[in-house]
Chains A and B, each alone.
Chain A
Amino acid sequence: MVFILGVNFHEQKLVKKALESFYALGPQTADRILAKYSIHPRMKMASLPQRTATALTAELSSMTIENDARKVIQDNIKRLRDIGTYRGRRHAMGLPVRGQRTRNQIQTARKLNKVERRG
């Protein structure tokens, strides 16, 4: 078991996949982080040296990921609503924002479009 940023990962998990499990950290960023610390893409958590794991935690804690990234999105939505835009209103109503029809198939909008958006 290896801890990165307070999260416990299984030893058989790829380091790349472990990094990608953080919100707002995708394949591109993960690749760059791997290259920065000279971790080969097929390395698993078990063979990650403790020193590198600590360095990764430090690196990640300086990035806008997880709750910080969610907060940025929520702020953006809030700003739209506060200045009274159509997009802000649609977000608040949980409806599609970009002119899609709402006769059917708006599950994604119902799921995601909220002022206090999660995920």
Chain B
Amino acid sequence: MMAVPNCLRCLVRPSTTSITTSVIPQSQRIVPILAAPFSTTSSVQKAGMQPRKKAGIPGKGSLSRAQIGPNGHIRAGKKMQLGKFKKAKNIERGKAPAPGERKAFRKRVLLSNDNALPVTGLEELSAQGLLDASNVGRMVALPNELVDQLRAVEAFKPTQSWGMFRQPSVLLRKESVELAKKMTETAGRGETLKLVISGDKLVGKSMLLLQAISNAFLNNWIVFHVPEGQELTNASTDYAPIPDTKPTQYSQQAYGLRLLQALRKANASILAELRTVNPHPELVQHFPVGSSLLQLANAAREPDSAWPIFNAVWSELMVKGNGRPPILFSVDGLAHIMKMSEYRSPAFEIIHAHDLALVNHFVEFLAGNKKLPNGGAVIAATARSNAPRNPSMELMVGRREAELGYAEEKPVKEPYGKGYDERVEKALEKVDVLKLRSVSRTEARSLMEYWAASGLLRTAVDEKTVSEKWMIGGNGNLGEMERVSLLTMRY
């Protein structure tokens, strides 16, 4: 229905004059249309649907004196004064959320859903199972103990759809087994695996990182995991210059404490067995040689005192031999720690992310300047949705991809391109790259069978459905497949 031209003076919404006489009773035709501007319901129907009680209200006080002309114009009669004799209403607005509550709600990770069907016959993930090539394309459930550890290091992300299933389970892809093998072999030789996981959006980079972390936990490694690289560099946690460092480095006490807390939660049993070999005179509390690392880590309670303790724990873990296990140090969101941070030095210069001590630890290992004494892995995952533009990182990762045969041509530097960063290029020169790509149809099928068994995919999983979803989902991009089959209500 077309709106008839309105009188500009009266400023009412498009009137329904032409139909008022026939459809809508007299008292209702000046009802303001309160619905959203876009609606698929026609205005006639909508006016008809307005509850009578509401419709009566404006008529009572204000417009009873107003004259309504023959063509629907409203001429103001006497101006009414609203609220002159009214008591102030006491509107109950409910309790406002406490500080931090909204964020906690936004970031919460649900790991089970009682409404989903339990999937029987799933094997539990084990250290051996991760290395077994015959497991490729199988769904495996994460054992409870591992789930607690993964939760402690925040390896689960709120954007992943764990909350739809009864029990957290993962698909073992070809790459997961390869990565697990690589990690175990490199650590076995006492060397450090330096790896960047790259790949398209939604292809499962964070999930592969989660599997790498699982592999580390299952093999009793020590794990340091930075769930969001941006939290280190976007100037949202404490920082302080470390005295006597040149160029000046910056400590992040609060984040150090967070890493320590995650460490002692996830690796408590290992830490309890490890004994200190060095005295730590710089600490306030006295730790005689031979006290357990868990005791040392537990001493960190406040952000103020956390940094020296973090350093002490770190130096203890970096001792060669003495039963020290291999270490996994991982970061999700590499681009954020490969740029200028948002912190400022006391001289008001922008601090490079590599001058932040925590980032520096990571980058030194990634660049191969330092080696983990007892072997281990340093793994970074790139992110595609939340990533600042980072030409140097893209260039170096692209080059490595081309060398490994993922791309035909090596990318070259733009001659007049700005924003290249030498430090970043140096850091990523020798790094290994794993480019994650789409899953095969057999892998997709096993995943879809798991969805169907959980009662979330309500079709028969046959060759046709699998091919259809595989193709609609960007030729086997796992996240896209999930979007087109599970999250259709959301998109």
A contact residues vs B (CB 8 Å cutoff): 12, 31-32, 34-38, 40-43, 47, 49
Contact A36 B99 (CB under 8 A): no
Contact B344 A12 (CB under 8 A): no
Residues of chain B within 8 A of A36, CB atoms compared: 346, 348
Residue B485 interfacial (CB < 8 Å): no
* Interface segment, one of B52-60, B178-186, B237-245, B445-453: B237-245
Contact A40 B236 (CB under 8 A): yes
Greatest chain B CB density within 10 A among A34, A35, A36 is at A35
CA of A40 to CA of B251 in the docked complex: distance in angstroms? 12
Residue B345 interfacial (CB < 8 Å): yes
**Among B304, B344, B345, contact of A49 (Cβ-Cβ < 8 Å):** B304
Residues of chain A within 8 A of B235, CB atoms compared: 40-42
1/0 contact string of B222-261 vs chain A (CB within 8 Å): 0000000000000111111100000000100000000000
Residue B165 interfacial (CB < 8 Å): no
> Distance in Å from the Cβ of B236 to the closest Cβ of chain A?
5
Closest to B351 in A: A35
Residues of chain B within 8 A of A42, CB atoms compared: 235-236
Residue B343 interfacial (CB < 8 Å): yes
> Distance in Å from the Cβ of A15 to the closest Cβ of chain B?
12
> Distance in Å from the Cβ of A103 to the closest Cβ of chain B?
29
Closest to A44 in B: B99
For residues 163 through 186 of chain B, which have their beta carbon under 8 Å from a beta carbon of chain A?
none
Contact A38 B236 (CB under 8 A): no
* Chain B residues touching A, range: 10 to 19
Our count of residue pairs bridging A and B at CB distance below 8 angstroms stands at 31
Contact A32 B240 (CB under 8 A): no
Residues of chain A within 8 A of B241, CB atoms compared: 38
Residues of chain A within 8 A of B343, CB atoms compared: 40
Contact B304 A35 (CB under 8 A): no
Contact B348 A40 (CB under 8 A): no
CA of A41 to CA of B345 in the docked complex: distance in angstroms? 12
> Distance in Å from the Cβ of B96 to the closest Cβ of chain A?
13
Closest to B304 in A: A49
Contact A40 B99 (CB under 8 A): no
Given contacts A12-B99, A38-B240, contact A31 B304 (CB under 8 A): no
Contact B99 A34 (CB under 8 A): no
A-B contact pairs, 7 of them (CB 8 A): A34-B344, A35-B344, A38-B239, A38-B250, A40-B235, A40-B236, A42-B236
Closest to A37 in B: B346
Residues of chain B within 8 A of A32, CB atoms compared: 348
CA of A74 to CA of B343 in the docked complex: distance in angstroms? 38
For residues 286 through 301 of chain B, which have their beta carbon under 8 Å from a beta carbon of chain A?
none
Contact B345 A40 (CB under 8 A): no
User: Which 8 pairs, one residue from A and one from B, show the smallest C-beta to C-beta distance?
Assistant: A35-B344, A35-B348, A40-B235, A38-B240, A42-B236, A36-B346, A32-B348, A41-B235
Residues of chain B within 8 A of A49, CB atoms compared: 304
Residues of chain B within 8 A of A37, CB atoms compared: 346
CA of A37 to CA of B347 in the docked complex: distance in angstroms? 10
> Distance in Å from the Cβ of A63 to the closest Cβ of chain B?
16
**Among A12, A38, A43, A47, contact of B346 (Cβ-Cβ < 8 Å):** A38
> Distance in Å from the Cβ of B326 to the closest Cβ of chain A?
34
Contact B348 A31 (CB under 8 A): yes
> Distance in Å from the Cβ of B206 to the closest Cβ of chain A?
25
Contact B238 A35 (CB under 8 A): no
Q: Given contact pairs A34-B344, A38-B241, A47-B238, enumerate 15 new A-B contacts (beta carbons under 8 Å).
A: A12-B99, A31-B348, A32-B348, A35-B345, A35-B348, A36-B346, A36-B348, A37-B346, A38-B239, A40-B235, A40-B237, A40-B239, A41-B235, A41-B342, A49-B304
